[in-house]
Amino acid sequence: MRLDFYIAHATGLSRREVKVLIGRGEVSVDGDLRPRASLQLHSGQQVRCRGELLSLPGHRYLMLHKPAGMVSSTSDRDGASVLQLLPAELRRDLHIVGRLDVDTTGLLLLSSDGQWSHRITAPKSSCSKVYHVRTARPLTGQMIEQLCNGVVLRGEARPTLPAQVERLDACSLRLTIDEGRYHQIKRMLAAVGNHVEALHRERIGPLPLDPALLAGDYRALTDQEVALF
Confidence of residue 57 (pLDDT cuts 50, 70, 90): low
* pLDDT for position 200: 98
Question: What is the pLDDT at residue 66?
Answer: 97
Active site residue 101: yes
Confidence of residue 185 (pLDDT cuts 50, 70, 90): very high
- The pLDDT tens digits of the residues spanning 157-169 come to 999 999 999 999 9
pLDDT at position 1 over 90: no
Task: Say which of 32, 101, 103, 178 is annotated catalytic.
Answer: 101
User: In this prediction, what percent of the chain has a pLDDT beyond 90?
Assistant: 64
Q: Mind spelling out the 3-state secondary structure of the chain? A: CEHHHHHHHHHCCCHHHHHHHHHCCCEEECCECCCCCCCECCCCCCEEECCEECCCCCCCEEEEEECCCCECCCCCCCCCEHHHHCCHHHHCCCEEECCCCCCCEEEEEEECCHHHHHHHHCHHHCCCEEEEEEECCCCCHHHHHHHHHCCCCCCCCCCCCCCEEEEEECCEEEEEECCCCCCHHHHHHHHCCCCEEEEEEEEECCEECCCCCCCCCEEECCHHHHCCC
pLDDT tens track for 129-153 = 999 999 999 999 999 999 999 999 9
* Residue 193 confidence (pLDDT): 96
Per-residue pLDDT at 2 = 87
Look at residue 144 in the predicted model and tell me its pLDDT: 97
> What gap in Å lies between CA 92 and CA 216, rounded to an integer?
19
Write out pLDDT tens, residues 201-221. Answer: 999 999 999 999 999 999 989
Give the model confidence (pLDDT) of 106-128 as tens digits: 999 999 888 899 889 987 877 99
Q: Which of 2-11, 28-37, 100-109, 186-195 has the lowest mean pLDDT?
A: 2-11
Q: Are 58 and 40 in contact (CB under 8 A)?
A: no
Residues forming a β-bridge with 108? 64
Per-residue pLDDT, averaged over 27-47, amounts to: 88
Which domains are delineated in the chain? 3-53 (3.10.290.10), 61-123+211-226 (3.30.70.580), 128-204 (3.30.70.1560)
Cα within 13 Å of Cα(116), Cβ side: 20
